[in-house]
């Protein structure tokens, strides 16, 4: 799918990888972006930076179906259509299965991570797909593309990442059934699993922590820059033969247990 003048919905789009991807889509690909995020101030700042003709912000809690419905309605009203959906909203909230006393940890933490990272992602994906199905197909028969953000924790989750790893495995598990269902509609579905990326949050970490993270990267021995992530999202949207699969964008990193 050619991204020029296409409307790209990005959950978690007001900061980190989501914001970097929004900037790349507008400045490098000529797309329009709709940012779904809880951070009102950051979202409005992003729109001011990118221009109201190219960007809009919808304050959205992805765990609220009502919030997502309202956001989708606002996007259709403002931009007229949805062509691509990048789901980058997520939380980590590390916790061991058994706590320090050897007791099963409270379910609230596990549920919170699953609700945002998997159920919230599914909610945005499904609502966007509903609108994509109404688009006129392009010259390749495409109506829309979905890119879901996974993680290396889907394969090598560290101790304390049970909820996060389970949620990201679920993200990858959506690829094939969704791609098969949406294929007849001209909608593709893929996921991308980023490794260690130099987001503002990561760059604010103590130098020793950063060094430990970089040590896990095989080659190149550095964190990824955010444009590398954004350009991979663009590749998944633009390459019409990519469907139902995942890409590990992680410098051959294998996460250690701790």
Domain of residue 104, CATH code: 3.40.50.720
Asked if residues 26 and 33 have their Cβ atoms less than 8 Å apart, the reply is yes
> Residue 256 domain-assigned?
no
> Residue 166 domain-assigned?
yes
Residue 156: domain span: 7-249
> Residue 216 domain-assigned?
yes
| Given the residues 24, 122, 164, 246, the one annotated as active site | 164
Calculate ∠ Cα 152-230-109, nearest 5°.
40
Cα-only R_g, the chain: 18
Omega before residue 253 within 30° of 0, cis: no
241 is an active site residue? no
111: which DSSP letter? H
* Total number of domains constituting the chain: 1
Of 120, 132, 141, which is closest to residue 66 (Cα–Cα)?
120
**Would you say how long the chain is, in residues?**
258
> Residue 255 domain-assigned?
no
What pLDDT tens digit does each residue of the chain (258 aa) get? Answer: 999 999 999 999 999 999 999 999 999 999 999 999 999 999 999 999 999 999 999 999 999 999 999 999 999 999 999 999 999 999 999 999 999 999 999 999 999 999 999 999 999 999 999 999 999 999 999 999 999 999 999 999 999 999 999 999 999 999 999 999 999 999 999 999 999 898 876 777 678 877 888 888 999 999 999 999 999 999 999 999 999 999 999 999 888 887
> Residue 2 domain-assigned?
no
> Residue 1 domain-assigned?
no
What pLDDT is attached to residue 207? 82
> Residue 208 domain-assigned?
yes
Give the dihedral sign, CA 19/20/21/22.
Answer: positive
220 vs 128, 188, 200, 211, 246, CA distance in Å? Answer: 36, 30, 20, 14, 21
Encoded tokens for 249:
């964008």
> Residue 211 domain-assigned?
yes
Q: What is the distance of C-alpha 237 from the center of its chain?
A: 13
């Amino acid at each position: 799918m050619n991204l020029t003048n296409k409307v790209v919905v990005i959950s978690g789009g007001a900061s980190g990888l989501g914001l970097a991807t929004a900037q790349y889509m507008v400045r490098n690909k000529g797309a329009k972006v709709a940012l779904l995020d809880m951070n009102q101030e950051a979202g409005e700042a992003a729109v001011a930076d990118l221009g109201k003709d190219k960007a809009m912000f919808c304050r959205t809690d992805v765990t609220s179906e009502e919030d997502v419905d309202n956001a989708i309605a606002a996007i259709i009203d403002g931009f007229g259509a949805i062509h691509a959906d990048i789901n980058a909203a997520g939380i980590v909230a590390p916790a061991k299965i058994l706590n320090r006393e050897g007791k099963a940890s409270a379910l609230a933490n596990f549920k919170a991570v699953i609700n945002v990272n998997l159920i919230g992602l599914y909610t945005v994906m499904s609502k966007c797909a509903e609108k994509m199905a109404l688009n006129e197909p392009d010259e390749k028969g495409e109506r829309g593309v979905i890119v879901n953000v996974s993680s290396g924790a889907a394969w090598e989750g560290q101790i304390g990442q049970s909820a996060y790893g389970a949620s990201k495995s679920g993200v990858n598990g959506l690829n094939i059934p969704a791609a098969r269902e949406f294929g007849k509609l001209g909608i593709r579905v893929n996921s991308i699993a980023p490794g260690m990326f130099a987001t503002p949050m990561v760059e604010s970490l103590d130098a020793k922590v950063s060094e430990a993270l970089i040590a896990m990267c095989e080659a190149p021995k550095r964190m990824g820059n955010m444009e590398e992530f954004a350009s991979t999202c663009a590749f998944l949207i633009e390459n019409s033969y990519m469907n139902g699969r995942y890409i590990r964008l992680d410098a051959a990193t294998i996460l250690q247990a701790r």
